[in-house]
Amino acid sequence: MSIAGKTNSSRLHADLLAWYDRNRRTFPWRAPAGSRPDPYRVWLSEIMLQQTATAAAGPYFERFVAHFPDVFALAAAEQDEVLRLWAGLGYYARARNLHACAQRLVAEFGGRFPQTQAALRSLPGIGTYTAAALAAIAFDRPAAPVDGNWERVLARLFDLHEPLPQAKPGLRALGEGLVPPRRAGDFAQAMMDLGATVCTPARPRCLLCPLQAHCRARAAGTADGLPRKAPRKEKPQSYGAAFYALSHAGHLLLRRRPQQGLLGGMMELPGTPWRAEPWQEAEALAFAPGPAAWEKLPGQVSHVFTHFRLSLVLWRAADLDRQAGWTGAAAASWVSLARVGGEALPSVMIKAIRHAQRTDGHAVP
């Protein structure tokens, strides 16, 4: 499917790029107009923005580049420090892959990013989308980083009614067919900005749109309902119990999760595995990290992961003696409450600790 031949594509490119030159958004990771982007900052921002809104990612990005100003600094860091700076962004495999990717770049590429999509895809954590974004934005290569904004604009431009996610390959092919031979990086960012500010999910602002003359959905009056989406499946529910163990000197027992799998390498309260059935009290207490007068706290902590919802029941014991009988707490250590805020804690565990502290009177710094 072509939008209407070469002439109109050229017109579309010119219309969109002229709009971008006047309306481009400013982000801490975006190079000023006319200057060459730093591939390190482009890469970092694209990884952060995969699951995080631009407004939320900004402060994390600033903090991250202040600590790790280039790929060499990131490669040389301890993984724990990387995870700590990532804590709160979620999807921690991204942070581990980021670190591994920096180390590969230093070891095998002299600290420079390769420029082709194929070579970029061979690096940890860089898939089809990120390779295209880097190729286009950092190196101005003709590539189509088709994200949600691109998908919405493309579905409307071509009046495509196939629902997502089945429509994704077709939309990507349409996007690839639309990339201009020059200014591919600006075009990529223009599509993102247009989708975020004009061709919005609800009530697209077609009267302000530089593409209105090219847009089939606008002509057909179907833009509001596009892109169509297949009904979402309900996320399955999981259950767990966690133990908030506080020593009399104000130390909290934390343990490190295994490197592989969900929240790999992050810190957590000791607890049960997470499973599809709720835990009976006696079953849960068999996972307590040591002998104590465990008190079950009222309420629960709810957290939504990509593929499931978690409901966590908390047990609390305080005034504990750190020396006695805590051998069951594998890979665990006592962390002073004053230092807990500096640990690589995922959001679900920050919620759990705060929930326990509402009954405790100690606050995590």
**Catalytic sites, residue numbers:** 46
According to the binding rule CB under 6 A, does residue 316 interact with ligand SF4? no
Q: Which of 91, 165, 139 is nearest to 131 (CA)?
A: 139
Per CB under 6 A, the list member of 212, 311, 347, 359 interacting with ligand SF4 is 212
Which of the stretches 201-209, 265-273, 276-284, 346-354 binds ligand SF4 when contact is defined by CB under 6 A? Answer: 201-209
Which of the stretches 89-97, 178-186, 206-214, 354-362 binds ligand SF4 when contact is defined by CB under 6 A? Answer: 206-214
Which of the stretches 92-100, 198-206, 241-249, 357-365 binds ligand SF4 when contact is defined by CB under 6 A? Answer: 198-206
Minimal distance, residue 49 CB to ligand SF4, in Å: 21
Q: Is the Cβ of residue 128 or residue 212 nearer to ligand SF4 in the bound state?
A: 212
Q: How far is CA 37 from CA 68, 71, 137, 163, 203, in A?
A: 17, 15, 7, 35, 33
According to the binding rule CB under 6 A, does residue 355 interact with ligand SF4? no
According to the binding rule CB under 6 A, does residue 192 interact with ligand SF4? no
According to the binding rule CB under 6 A, does residue 13 interact with ligand SF4? no
According to the binding rule CB under 6 A, does residue 333 interact with ligand SF4? no
CB atoms within 10 A of CB 76: 11
Please check whether residue 90 is in contact with residue 347, taking contact to mean a CB–CB distance below 8 angstroms.
yes
Minimal distance, residue 219 CB to ligand SF4, in Å: 9
CB atoms within 10 A of CB 121: 16
CA distance 339 to 73: 24
Per CB under 6 A, the list member of 12, 42, 191, 198 interacting with ligand SF4 is 198
Which of the stretches 44-52, 57-65, 133-141, 207-215 binds ligand SF4 when contact is defined by CB under 6 A? Answer: 207-215
According to the binding rule CB under 6 A, does residue 184 interact with ligand SF4? no
According to the binding rule CB under 6 A, does residue 253 interact with ligand SF4? no
According to the binding rule CB under 6 A, does residue 8 interact with ligand SF4? no
CA distance 240 to 275: 7
Q: For residues 207, 209, 212 and 215, what is the CA-based torsion angle, rounded to 10 degrees?
A: -120
According to the binding rule CB under 6 A, does residue 135 interact with ligand SF4? no
* Residues 138-167 within binding reach of ligand SF4 (CB under 6 A): 153, 156-157
β-pairing, 237-247 vs 309-320, is parallel
Per-residue binding letters, 215-244, with ligand SF4 (x by CB under 6 A):
x-xx----x---------------------
Q: Is the Cβ of residue 206 or residue 285 nearer to ligand SF4 in the bound state?
A: 206
According to the binding rule CB under 6 A, does residue 71 interact with ligand SF4? no
Cβ-based neighbours of 240, under 8 Å, separated by 6 or more = 271, 272, 273, 274, 275, 279, 310, 311, 312, 313
Q: Is the Cβ of residue 201 or residue 250 nearer to ligand SF4 in the bound state?
A: 201
According to the binding rule CB under 6 A, does residue 199 interact with ligand SF4? yes
According to the binding rule CB under 6 A, does residue 174 interact with ligand SF4? no
Structure tokens at 332: 């665990």
Number of residues counted as binding ligand SF4 (CB under 6 A): 15
According to the binding rule CB under 6 A, does residue 206 interact with ligand SF4? yes
Please check whether residue 274 is in contact with residue 263, taking contact to mean a CB–CB distance below 8 angstroms.
no
By CB under 6 A, name the binding residues for ligand SF4.
153, 156-157, 198-199, 204-206, 209, 211-212, 215, 217-218, 223
